[in-house]
Structure 1
Amino acid sequence: MSVNAQGKLIVTKAGISLRYWSSAIFAIILSIGVISFEPDIIADPIDQASFGLFTRLFSHSLYPENVAVNSASTVVLINQKSLTDTNEKWPPSFGFHASLLQRLIADKPAAIVLDYLLVDKRNDRSLEELEKTLLYAKEQGIPVIAARGSYTGYPEHGIIPELGKHVILSAGWRDKKNAASPFIYNIAMEHGDDHYLDSLALIAFKKYCKKYPKLPSCDHDGFNYDRNMWVFWSSRIPDYKSFFQLSDNELFKAIECEKHASNDLIGKAIDYVGGQVSSCPSQITLPAHYLIKDFDDRVKKMITNKVVFVGFNMEGIQDFVVPPTTPSPIPGVYIHAMAFDNLVAWGDDYFAIEAVFSDMRITADSIEIMTLILILIFHYAILKYVLGRTRGSTFSSALREDKEFNITNNPLCIFKYYYNRLCYLIDQKEIFGILKQVVQRLAIVIVELVILIAILFTISVSIEMYLLRIVPVNWLSILGLTGINMFLSVRMMKLN
């Protein structure tokens, strides 16, 4: 800095550069602080919204579409029609469950997963029938995996003792801290003193691997119980017509799927990229009445050698999940089925908030910080070295070049001044050079945005997802902080 003959302070080029980089470094440090000290009550919803939108946009292209993954599971839903057709009331008798299981066992599934609790005898005389059915499944070599009651509510057994000796007990889902999340899935949960119980999906996957040991995902070294899965939802829609080889005059209405378009502008843009959402999940689904009352021999193909997940779809039962790939809530059994499909697709390389490498402490937050630093350094370098070369008389500064003009609060005077100044620039043909510079700067900003988004997408997909197996939960935060920095830096340097 220096002082001229009139005693006014002049900021030199070196002074501007120092001020610029000081402000840039401060902005980067502040952005890192926002990420590092962001409270969970704010960070968790942003993370889930980021991953949900990412899934909504790219699951159709990033989720594996091979036969092994798409043919591993089937969901059987016990709905109101299932109870009505069999003269059952709520809760259904143990005899109802026994009849359903007997039908499933006859079709030789790889395993049966029961996503409902069996903790109360209820003086039901048909309990013995269910016990005999479970024993028969055990003798046939068909594992039945049952959900355990919460450890806090049922510390001793978690299931009726007579039934517990014939099933494989999984971790209690109600012990999960994020039970309502459609993404966070504990592959195992601690019960008691350092005693872990595997989840429904993990037990089912281990049993499936015993039947199909050559499956690539079954070749793993074990699972890190502290590395919770983030479920990657598939947007694939089952083709029931081709599955059952139906004729044009014969319809099999196991479940009807409809496309739903978004009404808002942003939603329509997402629909354009990712397609409209379907009302159906990606798993083949059968209502239970096709197995009990409306017997149809064609359903055997849906059950044989598959892991069958059995759950409820009843009004008034608060067991549902809201994935990003459907427009409305679906029964909670689907998160177990989807987690199982993720394991079949990737094994122990499933997506999580931490890297798959156990000896490297790399998390989504650390990747987020490094990505943000890279993007902001690139952004401020662009502003300094590219936009700096086009510096000169901009449109707004050219309008203020009249030295006789004094700032006034009278809006009419201000308007008249700017109007006269604009007419002068047009008359002198200076306006075309100024507009050319504005277009150049606008083009630079657009190119910068494209490069920044490309960097972000490359890191999210190539490095996070495919190399480290970290779920891309941070890109909305990075875009938001980058946008704020871009706005403030332009204002700071008075480049507009």
Structure 2
Amino acid sequence: MNLRASTGAAFDAVRQNFFGKTALQAGLAIVMGIAASATLPHIFGEDFATRKAARLYAPAAGEAYGNGSREALTVALIDDITLQRAGQTWPPSYGYYARVLRAIKLYKPKAIFFDIALREFRENDKSISTLVDTVCTLKAAGIPVYLASQPDAHGRLTTIPPMQALEGKCLSQVGVTYKADELDHEVWEYPLESHVDGSTPVRSAAMAIYEDLYGKPLPRPATRMALTWGLHPAPDGLTWIKSNSAADNESSAPDGKSVDATDAYCRGDFGLMELVPAGIREAKFKDADRPVCVFHHTVYVHDLGGDEDTDTRITAELKDKVVLLGTDRKFGGDYINSPINDRIPGVYLHAMALDNLITYGADYKRATSLAATRDADNLKLLLLTVISLAAVAVIRIIKNRLRRTRSDIEPENASRHAYTSNIDVLETTPGFPARLRPLVMVWPGQECEDDGRWRRATTWIAHKGADALCRAGRSLLNLLLSALLVLGVLVVGQHFLNVGFLTVVDVVGFALAAEWLEWNETFLDWISQKKLEGTPND
């Protein structure tokens, strides 16, 4: 017997063994899953199940995240009402920015992130000197200032000249560039570093603030962070009202007053009920069609220095906190889309990224993909792939055992229900509609008695109905088990291997698709057939 025949015989022996066949099927499922995750997104687009599945899982990750580190930071917003009260239009004067910074300074924050890029220098605005002096005063008072800046063609951060001169002396310039997902336009990742080819890497706002204030340098090169968006909203968030659609930019309540829950654009979270289909949520909760309110504490600049009650509240939210100062203007462009909160001001992106770093530190969740490298992140992803293989193998073992049980039961059923042979005749006899009644009613070896015909017909229908229910039950059980296993792999990837869930969904989702569609079993059958056809007769 030649080598080809020996190989074919060994392959068939493995297939005939229960555990060998299961191992082959599970292994092929994971291999096909990896191959599909690497190729199908380029053919059908990356939204080929991945983004939808990740968006479904995002609330679970947010629920597990709890309150994170949101008590360490607060978002401060300049909105249209704030500008109107101050008698300013956009862009406001440099002197106005100085007044805002001085007002925040009175509450003794831990640091201030100025998330307003100063792109074009207005030489006719002589109040720039006031802004420069204020920033240096903050530095002298032990309150570091971080200025949002944009990179030039060479990768160097730039801002208006008077502020550029303060770099390293009174302020730190930080990167604020990010890239929303090209498909769903939501922000799943946050670049901790950015650089142009050959240039020195530039730290992002979240990375710079975390490393400087907490004294914990992150490993270099810094891998992109897979954001975990918190689910539980802060009690004091955006004061938008729902009268305007998201496309028109929801605006604050008139005169900056707080809004009633029925008028708010957003809602509280439903906990794990966020995981159920939208239709079920909307049937149970009347406000389920609204997005979840923002995760971080928010103050509006026009409330600074207000009445005693307001001042007491703001003091608790700003003192010893990192204050992230941003904008919320109706016709502004600084907005992002969150998988939890929908459309919100861009400053919340940096707040969530900083929150993640304070919570996880160097163990932040990585946004990575399989590659032919030996770095730690890739090795963790390979380990997760092995865990996924084990999950798929469990499903395959259960399916194979259910099939074996069914094959053992079916001969017994065939002897107990002798009319099965008649059904074969019914399905194969030409012109069966005209002969339907006699064929269904007759039992082999018995007379066709009138008083038993309908009872036998009822028995046959009941038998087929029970079989259909049994098949449906097995499918539902497999589906539920698959969902639980995917959730388990996601938890392991997120909490133990620090792998972002978009990456996990890519591999596990396609592997389970290969298993459920039984591409692996079809492929094994095809291989076996080819071997049979190619094996010479001895």
List per-residue Cα deviations over 1:130-187 (Å, max 9, x = no partner): 11111111111111101112323x866511222131310012416x586964221011
Q: Is it true that 1:353 corresponds to 2:367 in the alignment?
A: yes
Query: Given residue 459 of structure 1, which amino acid in structure 2 is its aligned partner?
Result: V
Contact 1:320/1:331 (<8 A) preserved:
yes
**What CA distance in whole angstroms lies between the structure 2 residues aligned with 1:156 and 1:21?**
58
The verdict on how the C-alpha distance between 1:224 and 1:424 changes in structure 2, with shifts beyond 3 A counting, is farther
Pick from 206, 210, 214: which aligns with 2:211?
206
User: Does structure 1 residue 42 correspond to structure 2 residue 45?
Assistant: yes
CA–CA separation in structure 1 for the residues paired with 2:440 and 2:507 = 42
State the match for 1:398 in structure 2. 420
- 3-state SS, counterpart of residue 148 of structure 1: strand
Q: Deviations over 1:378-427 (max 9, x none)?
A: 3333333332232226899938644375465x795597688668967835
| Pair 451,293 (structure 1): closer, same or farther in 2 beyond 3 Å | closer
Match of 1:230 in 2: 226
Q: CA deviation at 1:339?
A: 0.7
Give 3-state SS (helix, strand or coil) of 1:311's partner.
Answer: strand
- The CA distance in 1 between the partners of 2:113 and 2:421, in whole Å, is 74
Compared CA separation, residues 16 and 283, structure 1 to 2 (3 A): closer
Residue type at the aligned position of 1:36: A
Q: Which moved more, 1:199-208 or 1:262-271?
A: 262-271
Mapped partners of 1:421, 1:133: distance in 2: 99
129-138 vs 478-487, greater mean Cα deviation: 478-487
Q: TM-score, structure 1 length as denominator?
A: 0.76
Indicate the residue corresponding to 2:137 in structure 1.
Answer: 136
CA RMSD, 1 decimal: 4.4
2:278 corresponds in structure 1 to 267
Match of 1:450 in 2: 480
Question: Equivalent residue of 1:468, what SS?
Answer: coil
1:102 maps onto 2:63 in alignment: no
* Residue 479 (structure 2) pairs with residue 464 (structure 1): no
Match of 1:162 in 2: 162
2:349 is equivalent to residue 335 of structure 1: yes
Conserved in 2, the CA contact under 8 Å of 1:151 and 1:191?
no
Q: How many angstroms apart in 2 are the aligned matches of 1:487 and 1:413?
A: 38
**Could you tell me which residue of structure 2 aligns to residue 93 of structure 1?**
93
Asked whether the 8 Å contact 2:138–2:145 carries over to 1, the reply is yes
Comparing 34-43 and 94-103, the one that deviates more? 34-43
- C-alpha distance after superposition, 1:268-314 (max 9, x if no partner): 446779x9565521111112211278895222221110000111111
Deviation at 1:104, TM superposition (A): 0.7
2:327 to 312, 322, 332: 312
Three-state SS of the structure 2 residue aligned to 1:347 is: helix
Q: CA deviation at 1:37?
A: 2.6
Amino acid at match of 2:352: M
- Cα deviation 1:19-67 (Å, max 9, x = unaligned): 995994766644442123334583377544433321224422x01436x
Distance in 1 separating the partners of 2:14 and 2:294: 60
* Partner SS state of residue 383, structure 1: helix
Do 2:174 and 2:202's aligned partners in 1 also have CA atoms closer than 8 Å? yes
Structure 1 unaligned regions, length at least 5: 1-12, 211-219, 242-250
* Whole-Å separation in 2 of the counterparts to 1:238 and 1:361: 33
Query: CA 1:421–1:485 in structure 2 vs 1: closer, same or farther (change >3 Å)?
Result: farther
> Structure 1 418/49 Cα, relative in aligned 2: closer, same or farther at 3 Å?
farther
- Note closer, same or farther for the CA distance 1:405–1:337 as it changes in structure 2 (3 Å cut): closer
Distance 1:34 1:270 in 2: 32
1:101 positional shift: 0.5
Of structures 1 and 2, the one with the larger relative CO (CA 8 A, separation 6+) is: 2
Instruction: Please say if residues 147 and 172 of structure 2, whose CA atoms lie closer than 8 Å, have aligned partners that are also in contact.
Output: yes
Aligned residues: 452
Output aligned runs, 1:412-431, within 5 Å.
412=433, 426-427=456-457, 429=459
- How far is 1:362 from its partner? 3.1
Q: Which runs of 5+ in 2 are unaligned?
A: 1-11, 238-255, 444-452, 526-538
> 1:198/1:44 Cα in 2 relative to 1: closer, same or farther (>3 Å)?
farther
**Distance (Å, rounded) in 1 between the aligned partners of 2:130 and 2:318:** 22
Q: 1:156 to 1:54 in 2, by over 3 A?
A: closer
CA distance in 2, matches of 1:297, 1:81: 18
Which is worse superposed, 99-108 or 41-50? 41-50
**In structure 2, how many angstroms separate the alpha carbons of the residues matched to 1:253 and 1:404?**
73
Aligned to 1:324: 339
1:63 aligns with 2:65: yes
| Change in 2 beyond 3 A, CA 1:387/1:90 | same
- Residue 365 of structure 2 aligns to which amino acid in structure 1? F
8 Å Cα contact 1:111-1:144 kept in structure 2: yes
- Check the 8 A contact 2:112/2:145 in 1, yes or no: yes
Q: Tell me if 1:288 matches 2:304.
A: no
Aligned-partner Cα distance in 1 for 2:14–2:423: 23
What SS is found at the alignment partner of 1:38? Answer: helix
**Cα distance between partner residues in 2 of 1:232 and 1:418:** 63
Kindly indicate whether the alpha-carbon contact (under 8 Å) linking 1:309 and 1:333 is maintained by their aligned counterparts in 2.
Answer: yes
SS at 2:358 equivalent? helix
Q: Alpha carbons of 1:54 and 1:377: their partners in 2 closer, same or farther (altered >3 Å)?
A: same
SS at match of 1:117: coil
Please give the secondary structure, in 2, of the residue aligned with 1:330: strand
Contact 2:175 2:205 in 1 (8 A): yes
The Cα shift of 1:113 comes to: 0.4
CA–CA distance in 2 between the matches of 1:490 and 1:399? 33
Partner of 1:173: 177
Distance in 2, Cα, partners of 1:402 & 1:155 = 75
1:442: how far off?
A: 4.5
Q: Amino acid of the residue matched to residue 168 of structure 1? A: S
